[in-house]
């Protein structure tokens, strides 16, 4: 079993090519450690909607997430709203979800822990 802390301790690696795409079983195993995260876009990505009481807290999270993206060189697609952020990770260079997406989802999650 993988835990959220094990994922969050890892660093994203530059991955290129479809061989790095996670299998359904690997994806399921990883998502079991990430509360609220789900497969979206028919297996193309993983995502979660984070809700906040106001715009200030929404943007504080967006900025913290941007810092994670910069540090890891792995970038989420974001939908930014007044009181929520729709976060979606997929690895473009792989053509779908990779281990990097699970790692960044775990780091995103722990920003709020």
Ligand X SMILES: C[C@H](O)[C@H](O)[C@H]1CNC2=NC(N)=NC(=O)C2=N1
CB nearer to ligand X: pick between 48 and 74? 74
Residue 75: CB minimum distance to ligand X, A: 4
Letters for 52-91 (x = contact with ligand X by CB under 6 A, - = none) are: ---------------------xxx---------------x
Compute the least distance from the CB of residue 94 to ligand X, in Å. 6
Give the integer Cα–Cα distance in Å for 81 and 34. 22
Which of 14, 24, 56, 113 binds ligand X (CB under 6 A)? It is 14
Q: How far apart are CA 68 and CA 8, in angstroms?
A: 11
**Looking at beta carbons, which residue is closest to ligand X?**
93
Token couple for 1 = 């079993």
Find the shortest distance in angstroms from Cβ 56 to ligand X. 27
- Contacts for 46 with CB less than 8 Å, ≥ 6 apart: 27, 31, 34, 37, 38, 39, 40, 88, 89, 90, 97, 101, 102, 105
State which residue, 4 or 46, has the beta carbon closest to ligand X: 46
Judge whether 61 and 104 are in contact, CB under 8 Å.
no
Which residues sit at the interface with ligand X, rule CB under 6 A?
Answer: 14, 73-75, 91-93
């Amino acid at each position: 079993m993988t835990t959220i802390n094990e994922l969050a301790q890892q660093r994203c690696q530059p991955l290129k090519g479809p061989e790095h795409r996670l299998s359904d079983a690997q994806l399921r195993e990883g998502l079991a450690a990430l509360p609220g995260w789900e497969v979206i876009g028919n297996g193309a990505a993983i995502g979660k909607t984070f809700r906040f009481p106001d715009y200030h807290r929404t943007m504080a999270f967006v900025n913290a997430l941007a810092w994670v993206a910069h540090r890891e060189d792995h970038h989420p697609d974001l939908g930014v709203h007044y009181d929520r952020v729709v976060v979606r990770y997929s690895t473009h260079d792989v053509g779908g979800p990779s281990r990097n997406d699970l790692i960044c989802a775990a780091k995103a999650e722990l920003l709020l822990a």
